[in-house]
Amino acid sequence: MVKEIVDGLENGAGLSKDALAALLLCGDMEEIAYLKAHARQAADRVFGKDIYIRGLIEFTNYCKNDCYYCGIRCGNEKAQRYRLTRKQILECCRQGYALGFRTFVLQGGEDAYFTEKRVCAIVYDIKSKFADCAVTLSIGEKSRRTYQAYFDAGADRYLLRHETANSAHYAKLHPSQMRLENRKRCLYDLKEIGYQAGAGFMVGSPFQTVDTIYEDLRFLGELGPHMVGIGPFIPHRDTPFAYAQAGTLEMTLRLLSIIRLLHPRVLLPATTALGTIHPAGRELGVQAGANVVMPNLSPPQVRKQYQLYDNKRCMGDEAAEHKQELAKRMADIGYRLVVSRGDYGKE
């Protein structure tokens, strides 16, 4: 059963809802090994043994939104808030550049302090000082004009997970001011403007079902993103979902493989959340078809404060300064970290 579905995926036959359910619910690990191995082969055909690295700079944890799953939601009064200065952000880039990073991902909450003008100035600065680097923004929902302004200032890529493509499910994860339609509008705008755009979702988020995941995959098929970020949902103690179940390693790995087979060329990270729920999460992610890792390049003293979920890994080899250890872990499974921007379609 799994074998036929995987062979079908490889031949571009797509995936029915029943087939998705069969892959996600299959209890035979040998069959699932076939799924993962074929997804990895698909990644090898496009990227070889190269793994792209991105330096993640979490530059503010102020946020005007109140997403029920997220530790830096505005309703969490226990969160200790911080924001980095432009100088601190540039210093992160300088250190990252020396370590071999050629992509900087600026991620944060939706923080009104960082006006369009301020963000543009920061992007422009980074692009002038590090001309051979790509800048990725991940700062939430903005107007098309603002996305255009960031792009004109030099931003190359934008990450905005759609979180779930089912509007009833979306409404269970977000307050009513937040709308799936707007999230989707943002993603289409980003693509049209010319960004390499990334969508994605949490695996095992509360109220997620095979049906909602099927809708996620359908949406990814319609949007055609350049990147897809998925990682397990992990509860945060000071959110309404404090006692919800976490997503699992196994479900995340299977979905990485399925997404790789559906979109062979897509940039697919083995995320921090995956590395948090299992010590070898990122290696297993690569072996299931991921081709990107995003070590943490934020100043160490603020890393604990950017706590989207409990026990987020940010030290050890999750930290950019320990890139050598990460490189060794990847070498041990036959992969190499490369010094390159790692753009979509230019491997």
Among 23, 202, 253, 268, binds ligand SAH (CB under 6 A): 202
Stretch in the footprint of ligand SAH (CB under 6 A) among 105-113, 149-157, 174-182, 217-225: 105-113
Among 160, 186, 262, 293, binds ligand SAH (CB under 6 A): 160
Q: Does 140 bind ligand SAH (CB under 6 A)?
A: yes
Distance from C-alpha of 291 to C-alpha of 289, rounded to nearest angstrom: 7
Contacts (CB under 6 A) with ligand SAH, residues 41-60: none
DSSP 295-314: -B-S-HHHHTT--SSTT---
In the shown chain, the binding pattern of residues 247 to 286 toward ligand SAH, with x for contact by CB under 6 A and - for none, equals: --------------------------x-------------
Q: Which amino acid is at 283?
A: E
In the shown chain, the binding pattern of residues 286 to 325 toward ligand SAH, with x for contact by CB under 6 A and - for none, equals: ----------------------xx----------------
Among 55, 109, 295, 342, binds ligand SAH (CB under 6 A): 109
H helices present in the chain, as ranges = 2-10, 17-25, 29-47, 86-99, 116-129, 144-152, 167-173, 180-193, 210-223, 249-262, 272-277, 281-287, 300-303, 323-332
Q: Does 234 bind ligand SAH (CB under 6 A)?
A: yes
The DSSP element (H or E) to which 338 belongs, if any, is strand 336-338
Among 53, 57, 70, 293, binds ligand SAH (CB under 6 A): 70
Q: Is 64 helix (H, G, I), strand (E, B) or coil?
A: coil
Does residue 283 contact residue 333 with C-beta atoms inside 8 Å? Answer: yes
Q: Which amino acid is at 289?
A: G
With 0-12 CB in 10 A as exposed, 13-18 as middle and 19+ as buried, what is 1?
Answer: exposed
CB of 160 to ligand SAH, least distance (A): 5
The residues that touch ligand SAH, with contacts defined as CB under 6 A, are: 69-70, 107, 109-110, 138-140, 160-161, 163, 202, 231, 233-234, 236, 273, 308-309
